Amino acid sequence: MNKNIFIACDTKSTKKVSKIIKETKTNKINIGYKFGIEFFYSKSGRQFLNKIKKNKLIFLDLKLNDIPNTCASGVRALGDLKNIKYLTVHVNGGYEMLRAVKKSAKKINSKLKILGVTVLTSLSNRNLREIGHTKSIEKLVTKQAKLAKLSGLDGIVCSGQEIKVIKKICKKMEIVTPGIRLDGDKAQDQKRIMTPKKAFDSGATSIVIGRSITKGNIKKNIQRLIKSIK
């Protein structure tokens, strides 16, 4: 599998996204772009996604999580977005929901890959206890990975701390790791972070990095990223 680096375009500004795409252009690493709910829900976001060239690697991070029929209908509603390569769904939605999403995805785009989101990188073991979980993050993610595999998903989204455990379960699936920071950058609202090189060395097939690239001088940050993984 190619090692992809998705730049998180966490903004509602199409002007800023255009700048991010322009200033992260490089042939030294495989760059893609991740769009979450902030951009997708914005007035011009969806229209902008349809205008992005089809040779760009686009990751739509909607983290679907509802009853099976609602999620399946939501996926069908994305049928006009032909350049989307990845779409996320929360694994905790259950087997039936995951299967419904995967089935709908096949109907609208046979090349669309569905990634199962496990425990968010902003959560700690303490946060899980507050929610009501009794398992540790590692044990919960392990169980979620098994369910994602059983459901026929194409990949897993997990923090760097769980990559090695997930790799043993999901040997042929993609492992996408968010919560990535360049050396020396602040964790901010993330609890479980990792550097790009360590994530790839641990077995991630793709990583998602946002503020370490998009804050400040984007071109210089991209060069820092390239140096960090060489």
Written as six digits, the tokens of 197 are 């090189």
Distance of CA 82 to the CA centre of its chain: 18
pLDDT digits (tens, 9 = 90+) for 63-91: 999 999 999 999 999 999 989 999 999 99
| Percentage of the chain lying above the pLDDT 90 cut | 82
* Confidence band for 190, pLDDT divided at 50, 70 and 90: low
- Count up the domains in the chain and report the number: 1
Whether the pLDDT of residue 191 is over 80: the answer is no
Please state at what angle helix 14-23 crosses helix 218-229, rounded to 10 degrees.
50
> Where in the sequence is the domain holding 64, given as residue range(s)?
4-229
Whole-angstrom CA distances from 99 to 66, 67, 171, 173 are 13, 11, 20, 16
Known catalytic residues are 63
Burial (0-12, 13-18, 19+ Cβ within 10 Å), 66: middle
CB 158 within 8 A of CB 173: no
Model confidence at 33, pLDDT cuts 50, 70, 90, reads very high
- Geometric angle at alpha carbon 179, from 176 and 185, rounded to 5°: 140
We report the CATH number of the domain holding residue 43 as 3.20.20.70
| Nearest alpha carbon to residue 170 among 205, 221, 197 | 205
pLDDT of 209 above 90: yes
Q: What pTM was computed for the model?
A: 0.92
Q: How confident is the prediction for the chain on average, in pLDDT?
A: 93
Mean pLDDT of 190-205: 88
Record the tokens describing residue 200, joined without a space. 């790839």
